[in-house]
């Protein structure tokens, strides 16, 4: 019998040990007398692109000095060791990629990617601080924006469909650092459960998902490595 098929959903909690601020804590609640939520909409960008970019440049600068923690490292190891593995993240910080994960679906985008509002131009950009603001597309001259999903925008359809298929076929659904209450992402673990699979939750406290899951409470940077060591021992999976 082969190794279990595993699908993972991560949220802000997986990056907590790396010092990544949550979206609403990104600038201590209020940023220049604006609610963070009011700066993350297409309407805000159309109205004041420089202000929105200043907010996101501020976030990029705070994230730039952060490094992957043991939870990211374990997920990257799982990516390497497991033949059927998919990592779905709601985070935009890019730390999963930095840790070495390759099979990653970004439901909310990546703050280190920028894209044109008009043409198909899209590129990774890690310049910190970013200058000039707002940046312009080198191909058509229109505005560039962060390649993230803003309030009022739909999740990327292709990534969402791939995520759904991964959880539908998974034997184990791991939910790491997210309360799993925001749909449609919150529905993903139940695709695994409906086909007879198991949900494992790694969170600091109980969530609405807890009654449906086997829960490992505590920082995921501590609990996920413990679970992985146990899993490898049970599966006879040698660790290098």
What pLDDT does 182 receive? 79
In a domain, 205, yes or no: yes
Taking the CA atoms of 38, 128, 158 and 192 in sequence, report the sign of the dihedral they define: negative
Residue 85: left (phi > 0), alpha (psi -120 to 50), or beta? beta
In a domain, 1, yes or no: no
- Judge if the upstream peptide bond of residue 132 is cis by omega within 30 degrees of 0: yes
Domain count within the chain: 2
Q: What is the CATH number of the domain that holds 120?
A: 3.30.1600.10
Catalytic (active site) residue 108:
yes
DSSP state of 83: S
One digit per residue, the tens of pLDDT, for the chain of length 240 reads 689 999 999 999 999 999 987 665 554 554 566 776 778 999 999 999 999 999 999 899 999 999 999 999 999 999 999 999 999 999 999 999 999 999 999 999 999 999 999 999 999 999 999 999 999 999 999 999 999 999 999 999 999 999 999 999 999 999 999 987 778 899 999 999 999 999 999 999 999 999 999 999 999 999 999 999 999 999 999 876
- Kindly state whether residues 185 and 215 are assigned to the same domain: yes
What pLDDT does 35 receive? 73
pTM greater than 0.75 = yes
Q: List phi, psi (to 5°) of 155.
A: -70, 150
What pLDDT does 27 receive? 47
Of the residues 72, 96, 106, 108, only one is catalytic, namely 108
- Kindly state whether residues 57 and 87 are assigned to the same domain: no
- Kindly state whether residues 49 and 162 are assigned to the same domain: no
What residues make up the domain containing 73? Answer: 6-18+68-108+155-235
């Amino acid at each position: 019998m082969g190794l279990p098929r595993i699908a993972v959903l991560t949220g802000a909690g997986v990056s907590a040990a790396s010092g990544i601020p949550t979206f609403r804590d990104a600038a201590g609640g209020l940023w220049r007398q604006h609610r963070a939520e009011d700066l993350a909409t297409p309407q805000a960008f159309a109205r004041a692109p420089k202000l929105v970019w200043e907010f996101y440049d501020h976030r990029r600068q705070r994230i730039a000095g952060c490094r992957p923690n043991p939870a990211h490292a374990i997920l990257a190891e799982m990516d390497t060791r497991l033949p059927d593995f998919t990592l779905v993240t709601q985070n935009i910080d890019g730390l999963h990629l930095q840790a070495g994960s390759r099979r990653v679906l970004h439901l909310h985008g990546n703050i280190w990617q920028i894209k044109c509002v008009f043409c198909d131009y899209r590129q990774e950009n890690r310049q910190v601080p970013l200058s000039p603001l707002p940046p312009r597309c080198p191909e058509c001259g229109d505005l560039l924006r962060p390649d993230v999903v803003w309030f009022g925008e739909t999740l990327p359809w292709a990534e969402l469909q791939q995520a759904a298929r991964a959880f539908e076929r998974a034997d184990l659904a791991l939910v790491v650092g997210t309360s799993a209450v925001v749909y449609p992402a919150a529905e993903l673990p139940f695709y695994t459960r409906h086909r007879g699979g198991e949900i494992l939750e790694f969170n600091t406290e109980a969530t609405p998902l807890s009654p449906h899951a086997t829960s490992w409470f505590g920082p995921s940077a501590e609990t996920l490595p413990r679970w992985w060591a146990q899993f490898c021992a049970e599966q006879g999976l040698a660790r290098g």
